[in-house]
Structure 1
């Protein structure tokens, strides 16, 4: 080899060594015994060993024990000629004892050399592995949270047949369907909405879609359990777009059946007498107001009747208030049975009742009043072998144009007291 060629080769070798030394990844030349006689600056900084230390110990000495077995297996296969190279993620042990995650690539060089050697390149991926670990931990925490909250978490496309991309396991406890069944049938959600609520839910979906994305929306409606039970739910959701631009609802469905039952109970209690179950004074006045507002033009105008029990105080004094309460309940049931579907029976308090009837002609009111009195007299409670019952007095007022609730109640009350006085005098 002449001097000019030698100089060119030496120059190129020097350039190559300089490139390797300055490379932004760890590079090492490893002999078949696993020692690394040649390393670059990046690898020495990454693991903290000197060039001499690398040359004097096998790579197994600074490899994590849990990764070393696989590394050695791949190395042996490569040396044996089964593979030309290999890649793996592994942990190196730094000189100070800390760990470095690296993406390792090793290739064996054989041709034209007295002895084969391997070139290894290591890219530090410690930060990436830490972030992956944190992400897995966060996903685990999120999944545990999602699967333990007493609600169904979901991601779905909008519309009656929009696909469901995720639904949490609580769905089976709430509606009797597994998440797999629910997501496999895009029409199942809409099919399980109560028929009376479907139009509302679809209209609400359109309204939400036209609103601001990312804004929390809430709807309450009924779903049908697999076994046929009705389940009231509150559906809280936000509309979001995925990276491809597709719109999806991200939401939480909460079972509010118990709350709706309590709400209905409170509404009932607010409108009904706690003893007899009849509507109370407040609800009765509201129904009379509605009757005035929708007064028919024909002769079948609604009427208000007042009913007062005669000598009811004597029942309490003689038999006790418990018997008196039972008698009030019996009278209330008898009055409700007399009114039936034609109107409303109410307890005004004490021993006073009121009736609103819609289809009794004015000339038939006296006859109907007698039916009311007969119902009162038929109400009986047996106490210690004695039948306890009372009589009553009735007054009626027909609703006319321009009447107010107060005027009607006053006229009916006046008519009732007139009837009571007439009975007392025998007229």
Structure 2
């Protein structure tokens, strides 16, 4: 085995040499491992073997165009690509192309890289940036994006949006009595309870220590939002057993409606916060719908 063959054999990326007719002339060990084929199963086969049937004709056209008008194609320039493995599964890949025309060889070399780990890391980083680390719920930043889009859609469609801001009652007492580990378990349990009570199209987020917010994307009337709020309040007031400790809590809820109470995301959050403050002041464990009079008597935390 000469040096060139040794390099091809030991290369960590898959290497394919494809003739202008689309026939696989060479496939190194890394490519075989990636695709699940043995070398003898690939040599002489069409390179379209690695694509689903519905994409093969388009790939033939693209391959022929590249052969007639070759240009530099480094990694990271060809979008999201996948390779169809022998077992029918797909693996995300990146490809670089190079044209060969000399010494009796004419065709295209494809360098094929498995990007599964990179894609997984990218998804994990994206999830961490947009979700609460403890509960897995949407975080404040992503919730703000959902709210902005929901309001824009409601404006175009002439619909209503409801915002429910929840604050747990007695959470500090739980932490002081049972410790922060139980407090964290309570927050996780609350997140599950809230999610179970709303529609799949709605959004539940944790935006602070013991503060949660629920976005009801489409509601017919304020009474619909109140009904959901009462369900949430009832669900969170049920006694809980966390690691053998009896935990009793509840929540206070402020309700604000688009477009009646506010037309901008921040303003709507402000209204819901004012309503929640009044719910706390009136004895907790209840839901309060925002009214304009609240603005004159209370300063919202979201306005500071």
Distance 1:226 1:379 in 2: 53
Name the SS for the 1:268 alignment partner: helix
1:341-366 CA-to-partner distances (Å, cap 9, x unmatched) read: 13111000200001111233223111
Aligned to 1:302, which of 161, 169, 186?
A: 161
Gap regions ≥5 residues in structure 2 = 289-304
Check if 1:341 corresponds to 2:232. Answer: no
Distance 1:282 1:232 in 2: 29
Say if 1:280 and 1:316 are closer, same or farther in 2 by CA, change over 3 A: same
Shift of 1:400: 2.0
Say if 1:372 and 1:216 are closer, same or farther in 2 by CA, change over 3 A: same
Distance 1:410 1:207 in 2: 59
Q: RCO (CA 8 Å, sep 6+): is it higher in 1 or 2?
A: 2
The aligned runs of 1:377-416 (5 Å cut-off) are 377-378=237-238, 380-384=240-244, 386-400=245-259, 403-416=263-276
Structure 2 counterpart of 1:190: 51
Say if 1:338 and 1:203 are closer, same or farther in 2 by CA, change over 3 A: farther
Structure 2 counterpart of 1:215: 72
The aligned runs of 1:42-121 (5 Å cut-off) are none
Asked whether the equivalents of residues 171 and 178 of structure 1 are also in contact (C-alpha less than 8 Å), the reply is no
Structure 2 counterpart of 1:418: 278
Asked whether the equivalents of residues 73 and 98 of structure 2 are also in contact (C-alpha less than 8 Å), the reply is yes
Say if 1:242 and 1:344 are closer, same or farther in 2 by CA, change over 3 A: farther
Structure 1 counterpart of 2:185: 326
Shift of 1:171: 2.1
1:28-64 CA-to-partner distances (Å, cap 9, x unmatched) read: xxxxxxxxxxxxxxxxxxxxxxxxxxxxxxxxxxxxx
Using structure 2 for the length normalisation, give the TM-score.
0.81
The aligned runs of 1:4-403 (5 Å cut-off) are 140-157=2-19, 162-186=22-46, 187-191=48-52, 198=55, 202=59, 205=62, 209=66, 213-218=70-75, 219=78, 220-241=80-101, 248-296=107-155, 300-362=159-221, 363-378=223-238, 380-384=240-244, 386-400=245-259, 403=263
Distance 1:375 1:348 in 2: 20
Distance 2:84 2:4 in 1: 29
**Cα RMSD (Å) of the superposition?**
3.2
* Structure with greater Cα Rg: 1
